[in-house]
Amino acid sequence: MDIIAYKYIAGALVMLPLLGIGIGLGNFLSTYVSSIARNPDIKEELSGKVLLYAALIEFLALLCFLVAIFIFFVIK
């Protein structure tokens, strides 16, 4: 196999955690919505934390995507 095949395999492996990130973020936000539905008084207390944690999870997804782009287009 040549270097181009290795680049494609490495890029695919780097994108694999995005599946887990998507599932985890969906589970996290659905739990948040159900907790707000059960106890609406806690919305102000949780909203800031939820935004912070969701932003951190999205940062991990963006980091995986940027590493894959780096592997595809920068490494020769």
For the stretch 13-59, pLDDT in tens is: 988 999 999 999 999 999 999 999 999 999 999 999 999 999 999 99
Question: pLDDT tier at 72 (50, 70, 90 boundaries)?
Answer: confident
Per-residue model confidence (pLDDT) at position 4? 87
Task: State the distance between the two ends of the chain, measured CA to CA, in whole angstroms.
Answer: 15
* DSSP string computed for 17-72: HHHHHHHHHHHHHHHHHHHHHH-GGGHHHHHHHHHHHHHHHHHHHHHHHHHHHHHH
Averaged over 52-76, what is the pLDDT? Answer: 91
Per-residue model confidence (pLDDT) at position 28? 95
Per-residue model confidence (pLDDT) at position 75? 83
Q: What's this model's pTM, rounded to 2 decimal places?
A: 0.77
